[in-house]
Structure 1
């Protein structure tokens, strides 16, 4: 459930990448309940259409546009932005939620894996944002939220490629924010720690196997390591993203908001 009213984003058009699951999926539902018009994109058309049915009940069919896209391909990115603007008008907001895990300890990294992680998590974010930003410049308004990670603020043992890509997102966010705010366009990032997503489960499962314990025991250890004693929900992250898109956050610029239950302090 959204923590804002059903008109906090009334008629604002927001493009959400990575909408087929996890944080992106939940963010779409929260924004729809706040009155936003939404373009949802990802690679899995079936999941996008499932989400569309949920969103229609919240925002109406006329306010939802679905477009599959390969964000690592420039032509696909261009087609996404142009078709989105044609379908629902000026893009007021962009949520860069698409991302993948990957990599391992340094001695096991290979060039193909590193390139794939950087392409999806950083380069795709940069170049899609560039396309949307050019349109925002025409009207001197807009809000952009990038999904980084707690791993984008501190080193992560055994996950170096992923951490590097998320550090890059933070640097991109902060640098772009300085340019964009001159044009009344705000750019921020959110940095979740463990969230109830498949990516988190895979990470915990991998650690549990390495330590010779069950997945359930690994889950307990992961939660115990967090000062709040629990893993964040996708809804909590989605509500933070929603806040950054509202006028309530109009003077928050270039920030990297942590959603980790205090885990960054340990």
Structure 2
């Protein structure tokens, strides 16, 4: 049976790289996100690689997540791999951080992950197993100044990963988190713009501020994340469960 992977936040960046890698490996792929235009563009660009479709959905909306999983399973078969990649970032010092900012980070990065895991786990268990892969961050392993809400949401993602790994192990479902450092993605571009806006630094100086966290002095490439996701879907990783795999050049060592 062809494996079916659902990738949230799949239209660009890490999600799109994961979609490419899984399509090349023979997976049927469903990507989801909030921007219909970006999703359509991704499907058009990737359709030559294999079977791919998209659904517009907000992962923080419970009804939307339920409808997403029902539609994707009905149209393309049971979901055997879930990649929770949808996420947002933002920065603010504590003194200027609004409750709305905090709630938004938690809503997408933690609540959205929870809703998708819950929607996937029941059918996976009935089908005999599956893989859940959560794209978290080194912010789920350590703290960073001025992004407290983001850090809290990613720590929640790591906590959910560890708890669900134990809860779902008997159903032959593995749950793991990949924790990248700063990646060369549109989200990082926006982070650089925020640094420029808030500090008056040049774009080059802002980029250097992010690169310095990585002992290898570079940003992580999306292909590195995609390769790790693919490996976690294979039999070679069948006993890897409840792990936080840091891809950060040694930052979290």
Same fold at TM > 0.5: yes
Q: Aligned pair in 2 of structure 1 residues 250, 21: CA closer, same or farther (>3 Å)?
A: same
Deviates more, 1:201-210 or 1:103-112: 201-210
User: Is 1:12 matched up with 2:6?
Assistant: no
Instruction: Check whether the contact 2:129–2:173 (CA below 8 A) recurs between aligned residues.
Output: yes
Structure 2 residue runs of 5 or longer lacking an equivalent are none
Task: Find the residue that maps to 1:158 and give its secondary structure.
Answer: coil
Distance of 1:85 and 1:130 partners within structure 2: 15
The structure 2 residue matched to 1:170, chosen from 147, 158, 161, is 158
Instruction: Check whether the contact 2:165–2:242 (CA below 8 A) recurs between aligned residues.
Output: yes
Provide the residue aligned with 1:6 in structure 2.
none
Deviates more, 1:148-157 or 1:100-109: 100-109
User: Is 1:214 matched up with 2:205?
Assistant: no
Task: List per-residue Cα deviations over 1:130-156 (Å, max 9, x = no partner).
Answer: 011111111221000001100110011
Task: Find the residue that maps to 1:84 and give its secondary structure.
Answer: helix
User: Is 1:22 matched up with 2:13?
Assistant: yes
Question: Structure 1 residue 225: deviation in Å?
Answer: 4.0
Q: Aligned pair in 2 of structure 1 residues 208, 149: CA closer, same or farther (>3 Å)?
A: same
Question: Structure 1 residue 53: deviation in Å?
Answer: 1.8
Distance of 1:48 and 1:171 partners within structure 2: 30
Task: Find the residue that maps to 2:252 and give its secondary structure.
Answer: helix
RMSD: 1.5
Task: Find the residue that maps to 1:263 and give its secondary structure.
Answer: coil
Deviates more, 1:65-74 or 1:76-85: 65-74
After superposition, residues 64-103 of structure 1 pair within 5 angstroms as 64-103=52-91
Distance of 1:117 and 1:245 partners within structure 2: 28
The structure 2 residue matched to 1:255, chosen from 215, 239, 243, is 243
Question: Structure 1 residue 68: deviation in Å?
Answer: 0.7
Task: List per-residue Cα deviations over 1:74-107 (Å, max 9, x = no partner).
Answer: 1111110000000111110000000001242211
Task: Find the residue that maps to 1:189 and give its secondary structure.
Answer: strand
Distance of 1:246 and 1:86 partners within structure 2: 24
After superposition, residues 118-197 of structure 1 pair within 5 angstroms as 118-197=106-185
Structure 1 residue runs of 5 or longer lacking an equivalent are 1-9
Question: Structure 1 residue 259: deviation in Å?
Answer: 0.8
Question: Structure 1 residue 203: deviation in Å?
Answer: 2.3
User: Is 1:114 matched up with 2:106?
Assistant: no
The structure 1 residue matched to 2:39, chosen from 45, 48, 55, is 48
Q: When the two structures are superposed, what TM-score results if normalisation uses the length of structure 1? A: 0.91
Distance of 2:107 and 2:226 partners within structure 1: 24
Distance of 1:70 and 1:203 partners within structure 2: 22
Task: Find the residue that maps to 1:15 and give its secondary structure.
Answer: strand
Instruction: Check whether the contact 1:152–1:166 (CA below 8 A) recurs between aligned residues.
Output: yes
Question: Structure 1 residue 70: deviation in Å?
Answer: 1.7
Question: Structure 1 residue 263: deviation in Å?
Answer: 1.8
Distance of 2:168 and 2:157 partners within structure 1: 16
Task: List per-residue Cα deviations over 1:27-51 (Å, max 9, x = no partner).
Answer: 1111111110011111111111111
Task: Find the residue that maps to 2:39 and give its secondary structure.
Answer: helix
